[in-house]
Structure 1
C-alpha cells in the first residue's frame, strides 16, 4: 500500500474527530493557518484536506470559517464503527441509535455469503440484523452472518435485542483466539423489499433503486467467522474511515 499523502492524513484526523463525536454539527474547525502550524504543512496541503472533508459532506463553509455539517450525508461503515470502538470504547457515535434488531438461525441461501463463510449452501448460520440511525444523517441496514461454531462460546448471539458488548470481544476473551479482518469490499445491487421496509423507504412497485453494499469478513485460526454487510440507502455517501 502506498504511503498516505499529507493532506489525506490531515483529513483523516478531522474525519475521526467528527465520527467519534469530538466535533459535533455546527462546531468550528481550526483555521487553515492553525492547521498549517499544528501539522507543519503548507497552506495548499491544509486547504486540500479541508476540500476533501467538504466534498465528503462532513463540513460546510460559514461566515466564521469551516464548520461540521448539520446534516451530514455520509453513512458510517462497519469498519468506521469498529475503529471508533477501538479508539473510544463506544459502540455508537453521539446521536446514533439502532432499531429493528433481529437474531436467529437461518439456512444460508445466498451463494456469496456461503462462499465467504466457507460453508455449504443451505447450511445453518447465525443471522443478526439491525438498522443504525444517525441524527440528521442516513441510516444503514446491517446484517451479520456468523458461523455456527461461534455459538459455543457466545450463546448470547441468539438473544433478541442489541448486545451490551460486541460479540467478537466475548469470543476472543472466552476462546483466547485472535480475530482478523480482511480488506473491506464494496459492490452495488438492487435494494430488496426487506431493506426498503427496514429503512422506511417507500417506492412505487414499478420503480427500483441501486444501493451500495459494503462487506467486511472476519477470520480466526479455523477460518471465516463473520460476514458483516452494510447496506446504504439510495443517495447516501460512504468514505474511507481512515
Structure 2
C-alpha cells in the first residue's frame, strides 16, 4: 500500500468540504480517526490539520474539536457540484439552491463554444441557464451549451425547468455512452448585461464589470457534447473539485 502524505489527507478533507459532505460548523475526523483511516503517524495527521487551518478552512472549537470554518464568499464549482450529485444524490451544498431555469435553442457565433463543441458558426445548440444562490443571494450564473445531437436521445433538454435526473445520466442510460469531462479552465472577462441582471449586480448602464468564469467541457465517444460556463458574482472566489 502506497504511503499517504499529509497533503493527500488535507486534499481529501478539502474535497469533502467543497462537495458538501463537510459543511461549515461540522466537526472533521479527529487526529486518532485520521491515523486509523490512512495508516499514518500522529505527526502526519497533525500536519494535515495544520495545513487546513493555515488555509482558513478549519478552526479549533473548544469542547468540540476541529470544525469547518464558514466561508461566505466561497462558491462551489460546477465540477464540485457534479461530484456531490454523484456521491450524495444532491448537487447542492448547505443553503444553496438553483432558480430561474431557462432552456432555448439558438445559433451561436461565440468562438469558445464553437471551438469546444466542434461546430460551425451559427450552428444551433441547446442553451440551458440557471442562477445558483446561497441564502437566496445569487453568486453564480450557470450556462450549459449542449450539442444539438443530444436532442435525439434526450429531447427533455429543450424543456425549461430543472431536469431530474441529471440529463447526462439519462443520456448514458439510453445510449450506453459514458460521458467524461475535461479539467476546469479558469479565466476572467467583462460581464454581459444579462449576466449582471441575473446575478442582481447593481451597476450603471454600460459599466465594465470583470467577473471570474469557469469552463468545463464534456465528451462522449463521438466527441464533445456539452460545455459548462459558470459566471461568478464579483467578490466571490471559487473552489475546484480537483
Structure 1 and Structure 2 fold alike (TM over 0.5): yes
Deviation digits for residues 2-37 of structure 1, max 9, x if unmatched?
x99723321232233334444332222244455345
TM-score by length of 2: 0.86
1:225 aligns with 2:222: no
**Cα distance change on mapping 1:55 and 1:166 into 2, 3 Å:** farther
What is the RMSD of the two structures over their aligned residues, measured on CA atoms? 2.7
- Give the match for residue 152 of structure 1: 152
Deviation digits for residues 105-163 of structure 1, max 9, x if unmatched?
01112111111111111111100000112349872111000011101111101111101
- Give the match for residue 27 of structure 2: 28
What is the CA distance between 1:63 and its match in structure 2?
Answer: 3.8
What is the CA distance between 1:206 and its match in structure 2?
Answer: 6.9
**Cα distance change on mapping 1:159 and 1:130 into 2, 3 Å:** same
Following superposition of structure 1 onto structure 2, how do residues 1-40 of structure 1 map, counting pairs within 5 Å?
6-32=5-31, 34-40=33-39
- Give the match for residue 214 of structure 1: 214
**Cα distance change on mapping 1:5 and 1:233 into 2, 3 Å:** farther
- Give the match for residue 82 of structure 1: 82
Any gaps of 5 or more consecutive residues in structure 1? none
CA distance in 2, matches of 1:175, 1:18: 34
SS of equivalent residue, structure 2 residue 224? strand
CA distance in 1, matches of 2:3, 2:76: 22
Kindly tell me the number of residue pairs found equivalent between the two proteins. 240
Any gaps of 5 or more consecutive residues in structure 2? none
TM-score by length of 1: 0.86
**Cα distance change on mapping 1:8 and 1:209 into 2, 3 Å:** farther
Question: 1:71·1:137 contact (CA, 8 Å) conserved in 2?
Answer: no
CA distance in 1, matches of 2:134, 2:44: 31
SS of equivalent residue, structure 1 residue 49? helix
